[in-house]
Amino acid sequence: MGDLRAAPTSAVVGLLVASAAHGTLCVQLWRQHRRGRTVGTVALIGFAIVLRTLMILAPPSLSDDVYRYRWDGKVQASGRNPYAASPADPRLNELRDDEWAQINYPRIRTIYPPLAQGLFAITYFLHDSLKAFQLVAALGDLLLIVLLASLLQTLRAPPWQLALYALHPLPVVEFAGSGHFDAWVMAAVVGAFLAHARRRHLSSTGLLAAGVLLKTWPVILVPLLLRRRPRWHLAVLAAIVGGGYFAYYDPGMLQPWLDYSGRWRFNDGAFWVLHALTGSLEMAKAAAAGVGALFFLFLWRRNADALQGGYWLLLGFILLMPTVHPWYMLWALPLAAVAFDLGWITLCSLAPLSYAILVVNEGNSDAWTEPLWPRFVIYGMALLVWMLQTGIDLRAPAPGALHPSVPARKETDAPD
């Protein structure tokens, strides 16, 4: 199809059809598992590689984030700090090229954390093309799949559940297609959970710190993952994160956070409800923060298992965000595959409906006139599926998995 933004209706329909095909395939794999036969992990990873290789051949189109990644890498290649100036700053005029014009919000400085900046710099050093960034994003996604397969094996969950993420069309399009680097963040988080499950606590702490340095949201997992570890683990994590920011320090590096938190809102779920109830964006943000804090306290007082509690906390965090792009929903999809959470898998399968904004705006999202109906379909159907699943367990229990019906593993303070 080429440029998906040029044919948004076909893109949305195509993604929904692909999601339906994925669901049908997973039902067949589940039935085979119930009959005592299951597909091999190697076969699933091989199929995942084929899908991502095909998608790399297409140009990045549904999102323009990859142009910002490339710009940040180019700025660093010139010996400059990417946090020191926005792409529109006249001091960087000499770096502009034909792809500079594709950068979204060029007057706002970069918001991506230090380790992400390092990833952009390495990618640009290896090759300055957009394809290079798509390839690196796809490699991060494949690393995530391998780690997810190991986590499933460690928790003794059925191997076929890897297909719930590895063959899902949305990660293929968002990572190998659009070049989003979030797959690396998710790989770090899944790696942290895997190391935790194997009681490699220091490795888990280091991987969690890497996730925070790639994109800030994994910081919400710190209290639950580090709760039963020696306090010096928190010092190690703080030192790694602080060292990363110190290496890139610039007085204006926090300004993009204020811009982002104050201006953006898109495809929100629970936050939309809070905004409708309060009638104020500021009040809705305060309410979301309060609800999130109460949910965290609930999990903390309940002494929730780090894996299961971390998963539920991540779901709540995404639902309470004012901006939920389709690739944000993917943050929880690997853990949803482990938990066999059909509700969240449904959410990700219907996420392409949020791209209806491109149809409404005739392929141009600059006007950002967002239709209301997609969020009711996406979140409403996901909620319905989740409610149905609470009374019907479609899978034989896997000890230690994230599914609510499975008893949590007992944690210890054993060292690495």
Same-domain pairing of 148 and 243: yes
Q: Are the C-beta atoms of 415 and 204 separated by less than 8 Å? A: no
369: left (phi over 0), alpha (psi -120 to 50) or beta: beta
Considering the domain architecture, whether residues 154 and 89 belong to the same structural domain is answered as yes
Dihedral sign computed on CA atoms, order 185, 407, 301, 230: negative
Do 184 and 311 lie in one domain? The reply is: no
Is the same domain home to 218 and 268? no
Who's near 166: CB < 8 A, 6+ residues apart? Answer: 44, 45, 47, 48, 145, 148
Pair of tokens at residue 366: 């600059």
Per-residue pLDDT of the chain (416 residues; tens, 9 = 90+): 777 878 889 999 999 999 999 999 999 999 999 998 888 999 999 999 999 999 999 889 888 999 999 999 999 999 999 999 999 999 999 999 999 999 988 999 999 999 999 999 999 999 999 999 999 999 999 999 999 999 999 999 999 999 999 999 999 999 999 999 999 999 999 999 999 999 999 999 999 999 999 999 999 999 999 999 999 999 999 999 999 999 999 988 887 777 776 677 899 999 999 999 999 999 999 999 999 999 999 999 999 899 999 999 999 999 999 999 999 999 999 999 999 999 999 999 999 999 998 888 764 545 568 889 999 999 999 999 999 998 776 554 444 445 443 334 444 444 45
How far apart CA 285 and CA 324 sit, in angstroms, is 14
In a domain, 21, yes or no: yes
Domain assignment of residue 406, yes or no: no
| Domain co-membership, 198 together with 291 | no
What's the token pair of residue 322? 């004012």
Assess whether 272 and 239 both reside in one domain.
no
The domain total for the chain is 2
CB-CB contact of 3 with 59 (8 Å): yes
> Which structural domain, as residue segments, surrounds residue 314?
261-389
Same domain, 77 and 191: yes
**pLDDT tens digit sequence for 32-47:** 999 988 889 999 999 9
Q: 372 — phi, psi (to 5°)?
A: -90, -30
Tell me how far CA of residue 235 lies from CA of 115, 205, 309, 412, in angstroms.
Answer: 19, 10, 22, 20
Residue 254 lies in a domain: no
Question: Based on the domain organization, do 153 and 238 belong to the same domain?
Answer: yes
Report the distance separating Cα 84 and Cα 80, nearest Å: 8
Q: Which sign, positive or negative, has the C-alpha torsion 96, 102, 108, 112?
A: negative
CB 34 within 8 A of CB 91: no
Does residue 71 contact residue 87 with C-beta atoms inside 8 Å? yes
- The span from the CA of 87 to the CA of 107, in Å, is 6
Q: Are residues 236 and 325 in the same domain?
A: no
Do 219 and 159 share a structural domain? yes
